Chains A and B, each alone.
Chain A
Amino acid sequence: MASGRDDFVIAFRSAILKKKDKQRFSLLTLLFLSIFVLILSSFNLKIINYIKFGINEVVYRSSYLISIPENKIQKIKHQLSTHLEIYNKYQDIKSELNILKEEKLTNDFLKLENKKLRNLIKESVSSKEILAKVLIDKESPFLKSIVLNKGSKDNVKIGMAIMDGSYLIGKIIEINYTNSRALLLSDLNSKIPVMLLPDRIQAVISGTGENHGIIEYTKEKLDNEINEKDRIIYTSGIAGLFKSGIPVGRMFKKSNGRIDFFSKFTQLEYVKIVSFDLESVK
């Protein structure tokens, strides 16, 4: 028994301490080095952050360059498939356009009314937009994030909203000098305060790791009520990061809180980084 344990110890010690012909470091050294790096990266020290920024800059740019051929192929594939569907889409869009034209008239009136009401309560929301290109869109079954080509030199700040057209898709969680990382709404760690229309129910939605979200929190009494009809999800603006009323997604009735986002996170090429300021009208 003791000899069996000794054999294990000898074999294991030899495995992690012995260097092979072409290995410059033993496994033990590198294992300790990676634990050391892991511990260091968890500290929020200035020098470590600078090193982290440097590594991020180099790796993101290299990854972007290496992914160019594959992205080109994917783009061609996507273009071909959209060309084949073009006629059917044209017919759909034509009828949709007529409906939208009618709705626009109502919307114009509502916009004016909203502006007037905001002026009455002496409040206005101003926003700054920065257009950014998606550098890396590496999907993972565990984490959903994208790397953008705008960073601290373009005044990007943590918490700024990421929008695809007028739809909310995520927020900035990491900033480097020339690039930044945005956490998508579909990530498990993403939590956004929202409002479910038409009943203006306040809720918190979370990502699922898939391409849809889920309602994580509402008041207990409303749990059954939210599944009774189709709903449109807008930001509530409660956390103060986003303004209220940014469209997020749609929830069909009896879908058990499943939210289908308006934007397709797999097709992102350019996005807007937006910051909102709630100002008082003088």
Chain B
Amino acid sequence: MSSLNKSSFSKILFSYFPTLILFLSVFNEHDFNYLKIEYFSFNFVYILIFYWTLRSPNQLGYISIFLAGIINDVIMGLPIGISSLCYLLICSVTAYIRNITLIYNFINDWISILFTLLLINSIQILILDLIFNYNLDYLSYLINSGFTFLLYPLFYLIFNYLDQKILLQPND
């Protein structure tokens, strides 16, 4: 009985893993986006959303992504709705890629994330700078996009492993 419970608990935990990590990373003070290393920052949430909505869209709901964006804006002090918009734009790109792709290819994903990052960071800068008059450091955004792109393969391997684990959960 206990093993049965344990198995179903781990099953639930694994199936909600992407959502849990998404909310932990936006709620937690420790920012994956900023590791306090000069000239090094990457956006973990972008990678997480890009991978899971592209490869395993059923594991990460759009509503969760929308809410995570709202929470991120509140914590970061950004205009509410801007992160949700950016996160959902990533989902739009991944949904489009899923529609036009028959066989998944890592290189295609990798190039697509670069295009997506440049697109959403440009949109974010345009909104913050032109509409909300925020002073922004463009170089930080560029560095952030660069490292997010470079680190995608590493997280791809980790998430791929976890995705396999979720898919291979034994049936009771």
Which A residues have a C-beta under 8 Å from some C-beta of B?
7, 11-12, 14-16, 18, 20-25, 27, 30-31, 33-42, 52, 55-56, 59-60, 62-63, 66-67, 70-71, 136-143, 145, 147, 173-174, 181, 188-189, 208-210, 266
Asked if B76 contacts A140 (CB within 8 A), the reply is yes
Q: How far is the CA of A62 from the CA of B33 in the complex (A)?
A: 20
Residues from chain A with a CB closer than 8 A to the CB of B158 are none
Q: Is the CB of A55 within 8 A of B74?
A: yes
Q: Is the CB of A189 within 8 A of B135?
A: yes
State whether B36 touches A139 (Cβ < 8 A).
Answer: yes
Q: Is the CB of A38 within 8 A of B27?
A: no
Contact across chains for B61 and A23 when beta carbons are under 8 A apart = yes
The 8 A-B pairs at the shortest CB distance, nearest first, are namely A38-B81, A15-B95, A37-B81, A34-B84, A67-B29, A188-B135, A41-B80, A59-B74
Q: Which residue of B lies closest to A67 (CB)?
A: B29
Of B34, B65, B75, B132, which is in contact with the most chain A CB atoms at under 10 Å from its CB? B75
- Which residue from A27, A140, A208 sits with its C-beta under 8 Å from B31? A140
**Residues in B lying within 8 Å of A, measured CB to CB:** 24, 27-31, 33-34, 36, 38, 41, 57-58, 61-63, 65-66, 69-71, 74-82, 84-85, 88-89, 91-92, 95-96, 98-100, 127, 131-132, 134-137, 140-141, 143-144
Report whether B74 and A139 are in contact in the complex, using a CB–CB cutoff of 8 Å.
no
Assuming the contacts A15-B96, A70-B28, asked whether A138 and B76 have C-beta atoms less than 8 A apart, the reply is yes
Contact, CB under 8 Å: B80 / A55: yes
